[in-house]
Amino acid sequence: MFTEKGNWFMGKRYVGEVDGFYVEAQVFGEPSMYGIAEGRISRLQVYPDRSAGFGRCLANYDRGWDGGPPKDRRIRSVVEKTVRHFDGKNVDWSFEERRYQDSRD
């Protein structure tokens, strides 16, 4: 599912394909309040395919959701599978939405 691509700042960079979508993630050794679901993933990008540029990013998390958590069920499923892979936990989307709203206040 994922291939390690080396160090990325203090974490490790992983790339892979989930349900046909291309995913890039920065994963730390320990969970953080800045991670998705307060886990180890502090950066995550979901693209329609490997060749898509950043302008075609379908979901972007960089210690917070750019534009809010994804609404599309397919993209949410990709995020959920990625979080389960690295953290072994589920994503509480209502919690993620509250965090996003609180960050805007």
Q: What element of type H or E holds 65? A: none
Residue 77's pLDDT is 98
Residue 6's pLDDT is 82
pLDDT digits (tens, 9 = 90+) for 11-62: 899 999 999 999 999 999 999 999 999 999 999 999 998 887 767 999 999 9
Task: Residue 25: name the closest of 15, 36, 11 by CA.
Answer: 15
pTM for the full model? 0.92
pLDDT digits (tens, 9 = 90+) for 63-103: 999 999 999 999 999 999 999 999 999 999 999 999 999 98
Domain boundaries, the chain: 2-104
Residue 90's pLDDT is 97
Q: Which tokens sit at 2?
A: 């994922």
Please check the confidence at residue 105 and state whether its pLDDT lies above 90: no
